[in-house]
Amino acid sequence: MLFGALIMELLILLRASDIGNKLSVVDYPDSGRKRHLRATPLVGGLAIVAAVLLSAAASFAGARSANTTLNLAVLLCGGGATLVGYADDQSSTSPSSRILILFLLSAIALVICPQLLPSVIHWGHFQRWALAPWLSYALIAVAMAGLVNAVNMADGQNGIVIGMFVIWSVCLMAATSGQEQSLSLVLLLSCAIALIFNMLGRVFLGDAGTYGVTFIFGILAIMAHNSGAITAETLAVWFFIPIVDCLRLMISRMRRGQAPSNGDRNHFHHRLQDIFGTTYSCIIYLGAVAGSSIATTLMPKLSVVCLILLGMFYVILMGPAFDERRRVAGASGSMPAGPLHSHANSNVLMLETHEDFKTGSRRLPKPNSG
Protein backbone atom coordinates (compact mmCIF):
# COMPACT_ATOMS: atom_id res chain seq x y z
CA MET A 1 0.00 0.00 0.00
CA LEU A 2 2.93 2.33 0.62
CA PHE A 3 4.01 1.91 -2.99
CA GLY A 4 0.48 2.64 -4.21
CA ALA A 5 0.22 5.74 -2.02
CA LEU A 6 3.49 7.12 -3.37
CA ILE A 7 2.47 6.38 -6.97
CA MET A 8 -0.78 8.29 -6.38
CA GLU A 9 1.18 11.22 -4.98
CA LEU A 10 3.54 11.21 -7.93
CA LEU A 11 0.62 11.24 -10.37
CA ILE A 12 -0.91 14.22 -8.55
CA LEU A 13 2.38 16.11 -8.71
CA LEU A 14 2.92 15.30 -12.38
CA ARG A 15 -0.58 16.60 -13.20
CA ALA A 16 -0.38 19.44 -10.68
CA SER A 17 -1.25 22.16 -13.17
CA ASP A 18 -4.44 20.45 -14.35
CA ILE A 19 -5.49 19.54 -10.81
CA GLY A 20 -4.76 23.03 -9.53
CA ASN A 21 -6.92 24.57 -12.24
CA LYS A 22 -9.70 22.06 -11.61
CA LEU A 23 -9.70 22.73 -7.86
CA SER A 24 -9.18 26.50 -8.28
CA VAL A 25 -5.98 26.49 -6.20
CA VAL A 26 -3.48 28.16 -8.48
CA ASP A 27 -1.33 31.07 -7.30
CA TYR A 28 -1.02 33.69 -10.03
CA PRO A 29 1.70 36.33 -9.98
CA ASP A 30 0.72 39.95 -9.56
CA SER A 31 2.43 43.32 -9.43
CA GLY A 32 2.65 43.27 -5.64
CA ARG A 33 3.96 40.59 -3.29
CA LYS A 34 3.40 37.61 -5.60
CA ARG A 35 6.24 37.99 -8.06
CA HIS A 36 6.85 34.40 -9.11
CA LEU A 37 7.25 33.99 -12.85
CA ARG A 38 4.31 31.78 -13.64
CA ALA A 39 1.02 30.50 -12.27
CA THR A 40 1.87 27.77 -9.78
CA PRO A 41 -0.54 25.13 -8.45
CA LEU A 42 -0.99 24.88 -4.69
CA VAL A 43 -1.25 21.09 -4.66
CA GLY A 44 2.05 19.98 -3.13
CA GLY A 45 0.46 19.59 0.29
CA LEU A 46 -2.61 17.90 -1.13
CA ALA A 47 -0.37 15.28 -2.75
CA ILE A 48 1.44 14.60 0.55
CA VAL A 49 -1.78 14.38 2.55
CA ALA A 50 -3.40 12.11 -0.04
CA ALA A 51 -0.55 9.61 0.30
CA VAL A 52 -0.64 9.67 4.11
CA LEU A 53 -4.43 9.39 4.34
CA LEU A 54 -4.50 6.50 1.87
CA SER A 55 -1.91 4.65 3.92
CA ALA A 56 -3.78 5.35 7.18
CA ALA A 57 -7.07 4.24 5.62
CA ALA A 58 -5.54 0.99 4.39
CA SER A 59 -4.10 0.24 7.85
CA PHE A 60 -7.40 1.08 9.50
CA ALA A 61 -9.49 -1.00 7.10
CA GLY A 62 -7.11 -3.95 7.21
CA ALA A 63 -6.79 -3.80 11.01
CA ARG A 64 -3.07 -4.40 10.59
CA SER A 65 -2.33 -2.14 13.53
CA ALA A 66 -3.50 -2.44 17.09
CA ASN A 67 -3.66 1.35 17.24
CA THR A 68 -6.64 1.84 14.93
CA THR A 69 -7.75 4.95 16.82
CA LEU A 70 -4.55 6.71 15.75
CA ASN A 71 -5.28 5.96 12.10
CA LEU A 72 -8.84 7.20 12.51
CA ALA A 73 -7.66 10.45 14.14
CA VAL A 74 -5.20 11.03 11.30
CA LEU A 75 -7.88 10.29 8.71
CA LEU A 76 -10.64 12.47 10.12
CA CYS A 77 -8.76 15.30 11.79
CA GLY A 78 -5.73 15.44 9.50
CA GLY A 79 -8.13 15.41 6.57
CA GLY A 80 -10.27 18.08 8.26
CA ALA A 81 -7.27 20.37 8.77
CA THR A 82 -6.40 19.90 5.09
CA LEU A 83 -9.90 21.06 4.12
CA VAL A 84 -9.49 24.16 6.32
CA GLY A 85 -6.32 25.05 4.45
CA TYR A 86 -7.88 24.20 1.09
CA ALA A 87 -10.75 26.60 1.77
CA ASP A 88 -8.19 29.33 2.51
CA ASP A 89 -6.27 28.48 -0.67
CA GLN A 90 -9.41 29.05 -2.71
CA SER A 91 -10.43 32.31 -1.04
CA SER A 92 -8.96 33.71 2.16
CA THR A 93 -10.95 32.83 5.27
CA SER A 94 -10.82 34.71 8.55
CA PRO A 95 -8.01 33.83 10.97
CA SER A 96 -10.45 33.44 13.87
CA SER A 97 -12.56 30.89 12.01
CA ARG A 98 -9.50 28.82 11.11
CA ILE A 99 -8.22 28.83 14.68
CA LEU A 100 -11.63 27.84 16.07
CA ILE A 101 -11.86 24.94 13.62
CA LEU A 102 -8.36 23.80 14.61
CA PHE A 103 -9.45 23.85 18.26
CA LEU A 104 -12.47 21.74 17.33
CA LEU A 105 -10.40 19.26 15.31
CA SER A 106 -7.97 18.91 18.22
CA ALA A 107 -10.83 18.11 20.59
CA ILE A 108 -12.25 15.57 18.13
CA ALA A 109 -8.83 13.90 17.81
CA LEU A 110 -8.62 13.57 21.60
CA VAL A 111 -12.06 11.97 21.73
CA ILE A 112 -11.26 9.55 18.90
CA CYS A 113 -7.83 8.65 20.24
CA PRO A 114 -7.70 9.00 24.04
CA GLN A 115 -3.98 8.11 23.97
CA LEU A 116 -3.40 11.64 22.66
CA LEU A 117 -4.52 13.13 25.97
CA PRO A 118 -1.41 13.56 28.15
CA SER A 119 -1.73 12.86 31.85
CA VAL A 120 1.78 14.21 32.50
CA ILE A 121 4.38 16.30 30.75
CA HIS A 122 7.56 14.27 30.31
CA TRP A 123 10.61 16.43 30.97
CA GLY A 124 14.12 15.20 30.44
CA HIS A 125 15.73 17.52 33.00
CA PHE A 126 12.87 18.12 35.43
CA GLN A 127 10.26 16.21 37.35
CA ARG A 128 7.12 15.21 35.49
CA TRP A 129 4.21 17.64 35.62
CA ALA A 130 0.85 16.01 36.30
CA LEU A 131 -2.00 17.47 34.26
CA ALA A 132 -5.70 17.61 35.04
CA PRO A 133 -7.88 16.40 32.14
CA TRP A 134 -9.33 19.86 31.45
CA LEU A 135 -5.83 21.33 31.33
CA SER A 136 -4.69 18.58 28.96
CA TYR A 137 -7.52 19.38 26.55
CA ALA A 138 -6.71 23.10 26.63
CA LEU A 139 -2.98 22.50 26.27
CA ILE A 140 -3.36 20.21 23.25
CA ALA A 141 -5.84 22.53 21.52
CA VAL A 142 -3.59 25.57 21.94
CA ALA A 143 -0.44 23.63 21.02
CA MET A 144 -1.93 22.17 17.85
CA ALA A 145 -3.41 25.46 16.63
CA GLY A 146 -0.22 27.31 17.49
CA LEU A 147 2.03 24.81 15.72
CA VAL A 148 -0.09 24.81 12.56
CA ASN A 149 -0.15 28.61 12.37
CA ALA A 150 3.57 28.90 13.13
CA VAL A 151 4.54 26.47 10.38
CA ASN A 152 2.16 28.15 7.96
CA MET A 153 3.81 31.51 8.63
CA ALA A 154 7.21 29.96 7.89
CA ASP A 155 6.06 28.91 4.41
CA GLY A 156 7.60 31.73 2.40
CA GLN A 157 10.44 30.08 0.48
CA ASN A 158 10.66 26.92 -1.54
CA GLY A 159 12.10 24.05 0.44
CA ILE A 160 11.91 25.42 3.97
CA VAL A 161 8.66 23.98 5.29
CA ILE A 162 8.75 20.74 3.30
CA GLY A 163 12.39 20.42 4.30
CA MET A 164 11.38 20.70 7.95
CA PHE A 165 8.74 18.04 7.33
CA VAL A 166 11.45 15.70 6.03
CA ILE A 167 13.65 16.41 9.08
CA TRP A 168 10.81 15.87 11.56
CA SER A 169 9.84 12.63 9.78
CA VAL A 170 13.36 11.30 10.23
CA CYS A 171 13.28 12.24 13.91
CA LEU A 172 9.90 10.59 14.46
CA MET A 173 11.07 7.42 12.74
CA ALA A 174 14.13 7.30 14.98
CA ALA A 175 12.11 7.86 18.17
CA THR A 176 8.96 5.77 17.62
CA SER A 177 7.87 2.28 16.68
CA GLY A 178 4.77 0.52 15.40
CA GLN A 179 2.08 2.50 13.63
CA GLU A 180 3.60 5.88 14.52
CA GLN A 181 6.83 4.81 12.81
CA SER A 182 4.92 3.48 9.79
CA LEU A 183 3.09 6.78 9.32
CA SER A 184 6.36 8.65 9.80
CA LEU A 185 7.90 6.59 6.99
CA VAL A 186 5.03 7.51 4.67
CA LEU A 187 5.47 11.18 5.62
CA LEU A 188 9.22 10.98 5.00
CA LEU A 189 8.93 9.48 1.54
CA SER A 190 5.96 11.57 0.41
CA CYS A 191 7.54 14.82 1.66
CA ALA A 192 10.86 13.95 0.01
CA ILE A 193 9.10 13.48 -3.35
CA ALA A 194 7.13 16.73 -2.95
CA LEU A 195 10.31 18.57 -1.96
CA ILE A 196 11.84 17.83 -5.36
CA PHE A 197 8.85 19.30 -7.21
CA ASN A 198 8.76 22.27 -4.84
CA MET A 199 12.44 23.09 -5.33
CA LEU A 200 11.93 22.94 -9.09
CA GLY A 201 9.14 25.50 -8.80
CA ARG A 202 6.53 23.04 -10.09
CA VAL A 203 4.24 23.24 -7.06
CA PHE A 204 3.74 25.24 -3.89
CA LEU A 205 2.76 23.57 -0.64
CA GLY A 206 -0.37 25.66 -0.14
CA ASP A 207 -2.30 26.17 3.07
CA ALA A 208 -3.92 22.77 2.56
CA GLY A 209 -0.46 21.30 2.96
CA THR A 210 0.78 23.42 5.85
CA TYR A 211 -2.45 22.83 7.78
CA GLY A 212 -3.00 19.16 6.99
CA VAL A 213 0.57 17.86 7.13
CA THR A 214 1.47 19.90 10.22
CA PHE A 215 -1.66 18.69 12.03
CA ILE A 216 -0.65 15.09 11.31
CA PHE A 217 2.86 15.79 12.56
CA GLY A 218 1.35 17.27 15.71
CA ILE A 219 -0.69 14.12 16.33
CA LEU A 220 2.37 11.88 15.90
CA ALA A 221 4.55 14.11 18.06
CA ILE A 222 1.99 14.07 20.88
CA MET A 223 1.74 10.28 20.68
CA ALA A 224 5.53 10.01 20.85
CA HIS A 225 5.63 12.28 23.90
CA ASN A 226 2.81 10.51 25.72
CA SER A 227 4.50 7.13 25.22
CA GLY A 228 7.72 8.50 26.70
CA ALA A 229 9.64 8.16 23.43
CA ILE A 230 10.54 11.85 23.39
CA THR A 231 10.59 14.59 26.00
CA ALA A 232 8.92 17.98 26.01
CA GLU A 233 12.35 19.62 25.62
CA THR A 234 12.97 17.61 22.46
CA LEU A 235 9.69 18.81 20.96
CA ALA A 236 10.61 22.37 21.91
CA VAL A 237 13.86 21.99 19.96
CA TRP A 238 12.13 20.56 16.88
CA PHE A 239 9.64 23.39 16.58
CA PHE A 240 11.69 26.20 18.14
CA ILE A 241 12.41 28.43 15.14
CA PRO A 242 8.93 28.57 13.52
CA ILE A 243 7.14 28.99 16.86
CA VAL A 244 9.49 31.68 18.22
CA ASP A 245 9.36 33.56 14.93
CA CYS A 246 5.55 33.39 14.90
CA LEU A 247 5.34 34.78 18.43
CA ARG A 248 7.81 37.57 17.64
CA LEU A 249 5.90 38.58 14.52
CA MET A 250 2.55 38.71 16.30
CA ILE A 251 3.95 40.75 19.19
CA SER A 252 5.84 43.16 16.94
CA ARG A 253 2.77 43.77 14.78
CA MET A 254 0.57 44.47 17.77
CA ARG A 255 3.20 46.84 19.20
CA ARG A 256 3.06 48.77 15.92
CA GLY A 257 -0.70 49.03 16.28
CA GLN A 258 -1.33 46.46 13.54
CA ALA A 259 -3.40 43.32 13.59
CA PRO A 260 -1.42 40.07 13.99
CA SER A 261 -2.95 39.06 10.66
CA ASN A 262 -1.10 41.79 8.72
CA GLY A 263 1.55 40.38 6.42
CA ASP A 264 5.06 41.81 6.18
CA ARG A 265 8.63 40.97 5.19
CA ASN A 266 9.94 40.68 8.71
CA HIS A 267 9.96 36.89 8.94
CA PHE A 268 13.12 35.06 9.91
CA HIS A 269 13.46 33.53 6.44
CA HIS A 270 13.13 37.02 4.87
CA ARG A 271 16.06 38.23 6.96
CA LEU A 272 18.16 35.22 6.00
CA GLN A 273 17.33 35.76 2.32
CA ASP A 274 18.33 39.41 2.40
CA ILE A 275 21.60 38.73 4.20
CA PHE A 276 22.78 35.44 2.70
CA GLY A 277 20.82 35.03 -0.54
CA THR A 278 18.27 32.40 -1.49
CA THR A 279 20.34 29.23 -1.56
CA TYR A 280 22.41 29.82 1.56
CA SER A 281 19.42 31.09 3.54
CA CYS A 282 17.59 27.80 2.95
CA ILE A 283 20.71 25.81 3.88
CA ILE A 284 21.22 27.84 7.07
CA TYR A 285 17.57 27.58 8.14
CA LEU A 286 17.26 23.85 7.52
CA GLY A 287 20.76 23.19 8.84
CA ALA A 288 19.85 24.74 12.19
CA VAL A 289 16.61 22.76 12.38
CA ALA A 290 18.20 19.48 11.26
CA GLY A 291 21.28 19.67 13.44
CA SER A 292 19.42 20.50 16.64
CA SER A 293 16.45 18.19 16.00
CA ILE A 294 18.49 15.11 15.13
CA ALA A 295 20.94 15.73 17.97
CA THR A 296 18.21 15.95 20.62
CA THR A 297 16.32 12.99 19.18
CA LEU A 298 19.38 10.76 19.43
CA MET A 299 20.77 12.35 22.61
CA PRO A 300 17.91 13.90 24.62
CA LYS A 301 20.34 15.18 27.28
CA LEU A 302 21.50 17.77 24.75
CA SER A 303 18.05 19.36 24.53
CA VAL A 304 18.75 22.25 26.90
CA VAL A 305 22.08 22.96 25.21
CA CYS A 306 20.38 22.94 21.80
CA LEU A 307 17.65 25.28 23.03
CA ILE A 308 20.28 27.72 24.28
CA LEU A 309 22.21 27.53 21.01
CA LEU A 310 19.06 27.97 18.93
CA GLY A 311 18.09 30.97 21.02
CA MET A 312 21.51 32.55 20.50
CA PHE A 313 21.40 31.74 16.77
CA TYR A 314 18.01 33.40 16.43
CA VAL A 315 18.80 36.47 18.54
CA ILE A 316 22.12 37.12 16.80
CA LEU A 317 20.62 36.95 13.32
CA MET A 318 17.75 39.19 14.41
CA GLY A 319 20.17 41.63 16.10
CA PRO A 320 21.39 45.11 15.14
CA ALA A 321 24.56 43.92 13.41
CA PHE A 322 22.59 41.87 10.90
CA ASP A 323 20.00 44.64 10.64
CA GLU A 324 22.73 46.82 9.19
CA ARG A 325 23.85 44.10 6.78
CA ARG A 326 20.25 43.63 5.67
CA ARG A 327 19.81 47.40 5.18
CA VAL A 328 22.98 47.63 3.10
CA ALA A 329 21.95 44.65 0.98
CA GLY A 330 18.53 46.19 0.37
CA ALA A 331 19.97 49.61 -0.46
CA SER A 332 22.42 48.12 -2.95
CA GLY A 333 19.61 46.28 -4.69
CA SER A 334 21.48 43.01 -4.44
CA MET A 335 18.53 41.25 -2.84
CA PRO A 336 15.02 40.87 -4.27
CA ALA A 337 12.16 42.34 -2.29
CA GLY A 338 10.29 39.21 -1.39
CA PRO A 339 10.43 35.55 -0.38
CA LEU A 340 12.35 33.64 -2.99
CA HIS A 341 11.57 30.50 -4.91
CA SER A 342 14.00 29.07 -7.41
CA HIS A 343 12.63 28.74 -10.93
CA ALA A 344 12.80 25.33 -12.50
CA ASN A 345 14.48 26.08 -15.80
CA SER A 346 16.38 29.33 -15.41
CA ASN A 347 18.53 31.34 -13.08
CA VAL A 348 15.71 33.81 -12.53
CA LEU A 349 14.22 33.91 -9.03
CA MET A 350 10.55 33.47 -8.30
CA LEU A 351 9.03 35.34 -5.38
CA GLU A 352 5.97 34.30 -3.46
CA THR A 353 4.55 34.49 0.04
CA HIS A 354 2.37 32.01 1.90
CA GLU A 355 1.77 32.80 5.52
CA ASP A 356 -1.01 32.30 7.95
CA PHE A 357 -3.40 35.11 8.85
CA LYS A 358 -3.48 36.09 5.17
CA THR A 359 -6.29 38.59 5.44
CA GLY A 360 -6.49 40.64 2.33
CA SER A 361 -4.56 38.21 0.14
CA ARG A 362 -6.34 36.81 -2.86
CA ARG A 363 -5.95 34.45 -5.75
CA LEU A 364 -6.08 36.24 -9.07
CA PRO A 365 -8.67 34.98 -11.54
CA LYS A 366 -7.51 32.47 -14.09
CA PRO A 367 -6.48 34.25 -17.29
CA ASN A 368 -8.84 33.86 -20.22
CA SER A 369 -7.23 31.30 -22.51
CA GLY A 370 -9.19 32.64 -25.44
Nearest CA to 148 out of 92, 226, 252, 218 is that of 218
Question: Per the domain annotation, does 367 fall within a domain?
Answer: no
What gap in Å lies between CA 318 and CA 233, rounded to an integer?
23
Question: Per the domain annotation, does 26 fall within a domain?
Answer: no
Listed in order, strand segments (DSSP E) in the chain are: 26-27, 40-41, 120-121, 129-130, 340-342, 349-351
Instruction: Tell me if residue 343 falls in helix, strand or coil.
Output: coil
What gap in Å lies between CA 80 and CA 104, rounded to an integer?
10
Contact 165, 238 (CB under 8 A): no
pLDDT score at 275: 85
Instruction: Determine the residue type at 243.
Output: I
Domains in the chain, number: 1
66 compared with 44, residue with greater pLDDT = 44
Question: Per the domain annotation, does 289 fall within a domain?
Answer: yes
Residue pLDDT, tens place only, 62-110: 765 556 899 999 999 999 999 999 999 888 788 889 999 999 999 999 9
Question: Per the domain annotation, does 362 fall within a domain?
Answer: no
Instruction: Determine the residue type at 232.
Output: A
Q: Write out the residue range of the structural domain in which residue 195 sits.
A: 2-16+33-351
Contact 314, 243 (CB under 8 A): no
Angle at 165 between CA 363 and CA 219, to 5 degrees: 95
Question: Per the domain annotation, does 22 fall within a domain?
Answer: no
Residue pLDDT, tens place only, 78-88: 999 999 999 99
Instruction: Determine the residue type at 198.
Output: N
Question: Per the domain annotation, does 365 fall within a domain?
Answer: no
Is pLDDT of 358 > 50? Answer: no
Burial class (CB in 10 A: 0-12, 13-18, 19+), 119: exposed
Length of the chain: 370
Give strand pairing partners of 130: 120
Question: Per the domain annotation, does 248 fall within a domain?
Answer: yes
Contact 52, 76 (CB under 8 A): no
Residue pLDDT, tens place only, 218-262: 999 999 999 999 999 999 999 999 999 999 988 988 888 877 766
Question: Per the domain annotation, does 360 fall within a domain?
Answer: no
